[in-house]
Amino acid sequence: MTTERLILRSFELSDAHRVSELCNNYNIYKSTLTLPYPYPIDCAISWIQTHENNFNNNKSYEFSITDKSTNELYGALGLTNNQTHRNGELGYWIGEEHWGKGYARYFASNPGSGRVMQKSGMVKEGVLLQHIYKENKFEELIHYGILNIGV
């Protein structure tokens, strides 16, 4: 998928160093559900190696967010597919050096991400209180969604 400025493409093993570089960031860790911190290169390699199998099994789809003109990797976008419950989950992260540039317009502690969801047509479905335990404290998780009414 291509936009005016960006390309979404499959990750390649050659992206592992850049993924590790971007994710080995405390602020990225704080704003995501499952990324570990620190984030060494072997985590990036292992993560990228799962993508093909997940794609082939219709389990999840991971895409790199890259600059259209330079091919620089800025972040990731993932979509999980829950076939049993016929729903999915969208997740993304953008390297901190690229924040505020309109590339990805949730934790309750990340209101900018909520604005991204609203701009993409999602509505706030609810708040899960004390749902995430991170850094010895509980945090809320805000759910946004798009419903396919009538299906």
Q: Identify which has the larger pLDDT, 104 or 76.
A: 76
DSSP state of 2: B
The CATH number assigned to the domain with range 1-104 reads 3.40.630.30
User: Highest mean pLDDT range out of 28-32, 50-54, 116-120?
Assistant: 50-54
Question: What residues does each domain of the chain span?
Answer: 1-104, 106-151
Mean pLDDT, the chain, integer: 86
User: Which pLDDT band, with edges at 50, 70 and 90, does 106 fall under?
Assistant: very low
**Distance between CA 49 and CA 12 in Å, rounded?**
9
